[in-house]
Each structure stands twice: as C-alpha cells, then as structure tokens.
Amino acid sequence: MSASLNAVATATAVDPACAEPLAVLGRDVTVPLVTGGEVTYAALDYAASAPALQRVWDDVAAYAPYYGSVHRGAGYLSQLSTDLFEQSRVTVAEFLDCRPTDQVVFTRSTTDSLNLLAAVLPADCQVFVFETEHHASLLPWVDAQVTYLDAPRTPGEAVAILERALAARDPYGPALVCVTGASNVTGELWPVRELAAAAHAHGARIVLDAAQLAPHHPVSVQELDVDWVAFSGHKLYAPFGSGVLAGRADWLQEAQPYLAGGGASRKVARREDGGVDVEWHTTAARHEAGSPNVIGVYSIASACKALTEAGFENLVAREQQLIAKVRSGLAEVPAVRILSLFGDDAPRVGVISFVVDGWNSSHFAAALSAEYGIGVRDGLFCAHPLVRTLLGSEPQAQGECGAPEAAPGERSLNAIRVSFGAGTPDEHVDRFVRAVKELVADGAKWQYRTEEGRCVPAV
C-alpha cells in the first residue's frame, strides 16, 4: 500500500482548528419520526452521495449570474465561463497530482468515466478486474476479453493474484487492470501502488476507481503510479451530474470520440460523394462532445479546493475517530457482524457494512430512518459479487440493487451500510450507535410492511 495512504489512515491527532465537521447543505434539515416529533436528519449514506459542501454551493451561486456558453461565444460571459471551465481542469489536475502530459476529461460520473475508458481500449486489449469491484468498474468491459479475479483476503494476496493472472495471459498484448482505491462495501483501502507496480511489471496499465477514495484521502496519480483515475462529483461533496477521467492521453487520442458531435470536432467538410470528413480534437475535448456541464465541472473544482484547503491530514484524522467510534460501538452488540475482506486492522475510510442476526437488513434500515431519523443504505450496494462473497453465498446469484429479497423479519441476502465523511457531526454517529443497540435490545417500536420492494412503516 502507498506510504501516503498508510500514513493518513492511521493518523490520530486532530488540529483543534479543524475538529469541527465541514459545513454541508442539509445539516439543519429536520425530518418527522413515526413515533412523533421531529429530529435533525442524520445523513449517513455518504458512500452513495455525499451532501454538497456549503462552500461549493456558495461558489456555484456566485458564478450563476455569469453563466454563459462554454467554447461557443465571443461575449464576455461566454469567455468568462470558458476560462472557468478550463481553469477547473487545471484545478482537478493539481488535486490529483497528474503528470504534465495527462489529460483531464470531464464526464457525468465514475460510471461514465470507466465506460469512456472501455470505449477507447486498443483492439484485443485484455482487462483484469477483481470480483470485489463496484458495478461501475466491474461491468463496462463487455467488448474486451475480461478476466475476473477472485476476492483476496489480504492486500498481499491481491497483488499475488494479479501477478499470476497477468503472467499467464496469452497473447501478450495490451492489458488493463481496474481496481478500486477504497471499497464501497467495506471501506477498506486497497494496495493501489503495489498493484500498479505489478501491472506495469507485466506490461499492463491500471485505472483507479477513486470514487470512494478521493473524498477521504489525497490521491496522487504520480505517487500511486496509476495510468488513469476516475471519480464522481457527487461523492466529492459536489452536486450530481459530473465526473472525471484523468490520465494518459495516448489511448484517448487514438480512439474514436466517445460521443460524436460539436466540440469534439475541429473541422467538418462535405465530400464530393455526399459524405463528410471529420478532423477530431486531440485534446480532452475529443471526448467532451456537446455543451459541457460547466456548473458541475466548476463544483468539482470548488470541492477539490475546499478539501485541499481544509487539509486532508486533519480531515482524515477526524474521520478515523468517527470510524473507531462506530466500530467499537457495533462490536459491543453480539448480534452485529461487520463485513470485511482484510480484517479488523485494515486501513479504511468511513464506510462500514454489517448484518444483524434476526433482522432483515431492509427492515433494520427502515427502522433507523423512521424511528431515529438516520439515513443509511441497505441491499447489495451495486457490488453484488462482493457482498454475496462476504455473506457466504454463491457470487453468481442474481439480485436487485438495493432491494430486499424477503419480507421484513425474514433472512435475506442483503446488508446495511453506514457511511460518513468530512461533514458528519459526532452526534450523528453517536445517535446511530445508540439506535443500533436499542433496536437489537428492544426491537422496533413500529410495524413495517413491504411496498414496491421496500420496507416502509405501516400506516
């Protein structure tokens, strides 16, 4: 594992000036309880979508009156918006510590970024991906020869599994390894730097799915020595609808545009035979056809600046304290089993999944919401093979993302995930731990029923 990831994952000291959570939208929102009254909402589903930072929202609001067409106009607002858009590209490159020759392509999400990379793979490229990946990085490689690797039980085993697979590949042509930086199920950090070294030693390239890593840890493309990195704005405390693919330019430049249209083309001319000749851009614009999402792009850049200025060392140290509080609290409940690949001592981010004996996970999550005002996630977390492996089922079994597979109170194949980050107050995790203990000890105070595949309070 990268030395930098190890260092921040085990940090304990918190600068008093940064001991408070960062201000996020929705921090004062109240929600009704089925048992009566209201409570401040505890958003503990950061792994799905983190709340936007107030700083990001303020920056976007300040820019909004100056909104103009990007790369399309001679007017002042258009020029301002174009400069803002391109400066955002520079900000993201600095945030990721990209190489000078790397390209930063703006997309809609991590999923979109990895599908873009899948679309530009060289012919006959072989892809190697662990079954532990989120579906965004597990599924885009349908047009490539894919080798799915078994779930490792230690970081060292992950490297060994990859090395064996790469050494055995035939023919020895272009290859790509796709790996997560931090699991969206267990929160555990993966040995990215070692996996990158293994990939390069065997003539392969590597793309890092940093959707769960970038919001919690500094990500250095150069230090980790990855070829590409992908992440989403909505997990990095920015609004929905924006993402990033950053890394080496050659495969991107050599492939046909991901989308054909205005912005991706430099020159279009009619031919005598009635067709058209197109000269495509060789910059990031090649894969950014259409009018870009300047608001989304600027919000990502604003979030990158805000996290950098807040100081990852302090943010990580505070998050580690929250992780310790949740894990120690859950450990006091014998009925709770925390899901893990690498064990209790593995470095991790603020993502913890667990099951509760005697409870359907959807029922438990519904009670947390309706009776305590706590929002968590239940299901298979768009990582079906991994969760099924952790729960001891056949990884080939099918399931519907986020939906329970049995009525409340019955055993079903799903889990509960609590996740948090830079905007989480201590009170939210304290309330969560107390709620888990009370529900396990006393049961739910309300009756619940299944409605359209979800467990909801009975009216």
* Residues identified as active-site: 382
Structure tokens at 25: 């939208």
Q: How far apart are CA 149 and CA 313, in angstroms?
A: 33
List all residues 6 or more positions away from 127 whose beta carbon is below 8 Å from its beta carbon.
121, 141, 144, 145, 146, 147, 175, 176, 177, 178
CB-CB contact of 314 with 181 (8 Å): no
CB-CB contact of 351 with 186 (8 Å): yes
Q: How far apart are CA 458 and CA 448, in angstroms?
A: 5
Q: How far apart are CA 109 and CA 297, in angstroms?
A: 11
Structure tokens at 81: 């918006």
Task: Tell me the torsion sign for CA atoms 198, 162, 236, 90.
Answer: positive
DSSP strands (E only) in 162-287: 175-180, 205-209, 228-232, 243-247, 265-270, 276-280
List all residues 6 or more positions away from 98 whose beta carbon is below 8 Å from its beta carbon.
104, 221, 222, 246, 247
Q: Which of 270, 218, 217, 265 is nearest to 421 (CA)?
A: 217
